[in-house]
Amino acid sequence: MANISDAHGKISLYSNDIKVIESLEKAYYHLKDLCYFTVLSDDKIKADDYFMNDFKYGFKYSFYGAGRWSYDINIENFGKWIEKDIEDKDIKNLLIANDYLIIYDYEDIETSEDIHYKAKVQVIHNSGHPILDQKVQYIEYHDC
C-alpha cells in the first residue's frame, strides 16, 4: 500500500466564465470523497495578479490535500479523475468548452519516505480540447 502525503498551500482558479470556476469548485468538492483528495477552503478571495490580464475571473483558495506517495500525482490525475468520477455532463461540457488555468502553490510532506518539497504548478486547459488534454507545467520545485 502506498504512503499518504500531506499537502497544503494555495490554489488559484482562472477563467473567462464564472461558471467554469464554479464547476471546478464542484469537481474538487466531489473528488474530496476519494482516497486521495483536495479540499478547498471557504475563504476564497479575488485574484489580483498578472493572470487577470488574460482572464476575467480569478479566485484564490487555501487548501489541504492527501496524495499517494506525493501530492503532485493528484495534480497530474485531476483531469482523469474528472472524466472518470464526475457524472455531471454539464460540468464536463462546460470545462471542455472553455479555457481555464489552475495554479497550485504548495508544500508536500510524506514523512515515512522522507519526501518534503515545495512546488508551484500550473494546469492549462484550452477550449475545445478534452479535459484529459490539460497541460501540467512545473514552474518551481524545491526539496526542503
Angle (nearest 5°) at CA 105 between 74 and 68:
25
Distance CA 105, CA 127 (A): 24
CA distances from 91 to 20, 25, 82, 94 (A): 8, 10, 9, 5
- How many Å from the N-terminal Cα to the C-terminal Cα in the chain? 25
| Closest by Cα among 68, 134, 67, 58 to 106 | 67
| Closest by Cα among 42, 36, 43, 91 to 65 | 36
pLDDT (tens place) for every residue of the chain, 144 residues total: 567 889 999 999 999 999 999 999 999 999 887 767 899 998 899 998 888 889 999 999 999 998 877 899 899 999 999 999 999 999 999 999 999 999 999 999 987 778 899 999 999 999 999 999 999 999 999 999
DSSP 2: P
Residue 112 has a pLDDT of 77
Domain spans of the chain? 4-143
Residue 32 has a pLDDT of 84
Q: Which residues contact 141 (CB under 8 A, 6 or more apart)?
A: 117, 118, 119, 120
